Amino acid sequence: MANKIKVVLVGGSGYAGFEVVRWLLRHPFAELVGIYGPAKELGPMDQFYPLLSKQVRLSQELFDPQAIAASGAELAMLCVPHKVAMSYVPALRKLGLRVIDWSADYRLHDRDVYQEWYCPHEDAEGLAEAVYGLPEFFAERIRTAGLVANPGCYPTCSVLPLAPILQAGLIASEGIIVNAVSGVSGAGRTPSLKFHFPERNENFEPYGVGKHRHMPEIEQTLGDIVGHGVQVLFQPHLCPMDRGMLCSIYARPKGDVTAEQLVEVLQAAYADKPFVRVRSDVLPATKYTTYTNFCDVWATVAKGQVILFGALDNLIKGASGQAIQNMNLMFGFEETAGLY
């Protein structure tokens, strides 16, 4: 189609880049016109991903903002690690491209918090401009944003079940526990003993106790939505499967809260959101969401605790699908365009 927007991908060698390529191949209103990356990872895309052979003829070329601008691209999908992202963004923005950044570099508004959890932050301007790309809560700002920080997978999966319940004042804002489980693709594509098949297969384990970098992102996002501080203990685990994420969330009810109340609050919040499903038919399961952009949520009360579940595909609603959803909003397409 003549009037597709032109999109470039920056950082095509990881799982996130691969996923966005596949979504763009299907998109009715957007077209992937170039792929760029660091000097050590150049070459045809089907060399990184033999699956893409005969489907994608683009090569990953050296990152070059001028060339990107010259390509007529209106949007850059930035799938590079944190720190690299903030070294690429300013040039792209200066040249007029809108950017969806998948790294953590523009997710935390507070530079000090960022620096405590990551590294020195070098793009204060970008940080000020960036909009947190969770469409269910920030769609208005996303539509006009120049720079969207695509959320982390765990924050998406935690915030969607929690936020409406917190907004409704049905649970306490502190002492919230998010027990999260992720498929292994969430850990990226760099081999190590921990992810060596015979070590990882048939194995379930916790990691990052008390120090996972998604914890401050969850707290910030919930705080932004509800307007006051929220304290969350986030505990991730690795599950022997390629993809999928499930958060089991425990919180203390404020007064007498019923399961029905919780479900009504969620239903009201997400009635017109195309990619959040308030389940009442079945409990959320990762497989009901894999290869989709849906996040399934669920709520009840038991033994004096509010229990919430959130489930999604960490590579889709937790990354690539959410980025496409953000792109749809930014360019005025239907929110679901190309996302089935």
The CB-of-88 to its own copies minimum distance in angstroms stands at 25
Between residues 155 and 183, which has the closer beta carbon with respect to its own copies? 183
Per CB under 8 A, the list member of 106, 114, 294, 333 interacting with its own copies is 294
The smaller minimum CB distance to its own copies, of residues 97 and 246, is found at: 246
Start-to-end CA distance of the chain, whole Å, equals 19
Does the footprint of its own copies cover residue 179 (CB under 8 A)? yes
Taking CB under 8 A as the criterion, which residues in 245-274 touch its own copies?
Answer: 246, 248, 250, 252, 274
Beta strands in 79-162, from DSSP E residues, in sequence order: 98-101, 131-132, 147-149
Mark whether 153 is an active-site residue. Answer: yes
Residues 103-142 interacting with its own copies (rule: CB under 8 A): none
Give the per-residue contact string, 205-224, with its own copies (x = CB under 8 A; - = no): xxx-xxx---x---------
| Window 6-65: residues binding its own copies (CB under 8 A) | 15, 22, 25-26, 28, 46-47, 50-51, 53-55
307 binds its own copies (CB under 8 A): yes
Q: Which of 79, 153, 157, 295 is catalytic?
A: 153
Task: Write the burial class of residue 331 (CB in 10 Å: 0-12 exposed, 13-18 middle, 19+ buried).
Answer: middle
- Sort 337 into a burial class: Cβ within 10 Å, 0-12 / 13-18 / 19+: middle
Q: How far is the CB of 277 from its own copies (least distance, A)?
A: 5
Q: Residues in contact with its own copies, total (CB under 8 A)?
A: 82
Q: What is the largest CA-CA distance in the chain?
A: 61
The number of C-alpha atoms within 13 Å of 25 and in the hemisphere containing its C-beta is 13
Residue from 5, 232, 319, 329 that binds its own copies (CB under 8 A)?
232
Q: Does residue 196 touch its own copies according to CB under 8 A?
A: yes
By CB under 8 A, name the one of 20, 239, 324, 327 that touches its own copies: 239
Interaction of residue 164 with its own copies, rule CB under 8 A: no
135-144 helix and 214-226 helix, angle to the nearest 10 degrees: 80
Phi, psi for 20 (deg, rounded to 5): -70, -35
Q: Which residues within the stretch 63-102 sit at the binding site for its own copies (CB under 8 A)?
A: none
Among 87, 115, 144, 192, binds its own copies (CB under 8 A): 192
For 219, the 3-state DSSP assignment is: helix
DSSP assignment string, 107-118: T-S-HHHHHHHS
Vertex 203 angle, CA 199 and 206, to 5°: 105
Handedness of CA 239, 17, 2, 96 (dihedral sign): positive
Contact 154, 245 (CB under 8 A): yes
Catalytic (active-site) positions: 153
